[in-house]
Every structure is written in structure tokens, then in C-alpha cells.
Amino acid sequence: LRQEWGGLDILIHAIAFAAKEDLSNPYSQTSRRGFFLALDVSAYSLVILSRQAAKLMEGRKGAILTMTYMGSEKVIPNYNIMGVAKAALEASVRYLAYDLGPKGIRVNAISAGPIRTLAASGIAGFKEMLHYSSERAPLKRNIDAEEVARTALYLVSDMASAVTGEVVHVDAGY
């Protein structure tokens, strides 16, 4: 990347994983292995990728963006260990923003409302979540992937040059 394009401008982190049994069983039954796996894949991966990306962003205005979910702030049935992992991810955003800010690198997260995705299909009761969310959101609807993408474009662009360490909610106001 450095040789071909002079470095890196943007890193988008959009990876998360938890074992199915750690989502379907009560949170109190989360295995130690499942806990470590969810936090390693879903939160620590941002730390290590940011560390490496920062080296390629030296001398540039870099932007790092990750994806989170409201389950980090409130209990969402059947989200379980992923809520804890997303809370760790959001804390990592703030600490990385602090560490990388002096280098001109911004770090933010988008907390998207429920969207029909492959990952969402693994969450029990997801259809009910969509219905519940659209009924209660101030905009009285769900969101779509394009709305999340537009917010991502804003956050990694110069239009958000003074925004770092933030979790931006894209959820129709829910």
C-alpha cells in the first residue's frame, strides 16, 4: 500500500463473531472460550488492525471506522455476549481516538439500527426486533444499508475532520 499508493487513508472494521450457543443460551452460561472468542474477533481485531493501519497513515489524515450496535448500551434479548463485545469495541474506539489523534488519525463507530443482513439472520427474534424498532423510532421506520453507508462516507471524509472518539447512531432516532 505504501509503495503503490503512498499509504492508507481509511480503515473500515466490520467484523464480529460469537459462537451460536453463546448467543442462544442465557448470557450467564457464556463459556470462557466463547467469551474470549467474541471479544477477540469483535473488539481486539480493531486494536490490532488500527495499530497496523496507523503505520500506513503516517503523514496523512487517516480515518478508522467500525460498526457497533445498541446491544452495547442496552440489553437486547438473544444478543448476549455480542453486547459485551460491542461495549468493549466502543470503549476501544475512545481509547484509540485518544492514542491516534496526535497523529491526525480519527477513530469513530456507527451504531446502526436493525437491518436485514446475513449476520442479523442468526439472531433469534430478529423480525420482531425490526417491527418493534420501526413502531417506536421517532421516524416511524427502519433504516437501510444505504443510510449507514452515507454516514460512513461522512465520518471518513474531511467533512468530519473534527469528529473522533464518537459512536454515531443511525437508527431513525430509536
**Hey, which residues are catalytic here?**
69, 79
Contact at 8 Å (CB) between 106 and 164? yes
Q: In what helix (H) or strand (E) does residue 15 lie, and over which residues does it extend?
A: none
What is d(CA 85, CA 113) in angstroms, rounded to the nearest whole number?
17
- Cα–Cα distances in angstroms (integers) from residue 148 to residues 76, 86, 103, 121, in the given order: 20, 17, 27, 18
Please identify which residue in the block is written with the cell numbers 446491544: 71
DSSP letters, 127-164, are HHHHHHHHHHSTTSS---HHHHHHHHHHHHSGGGTT--
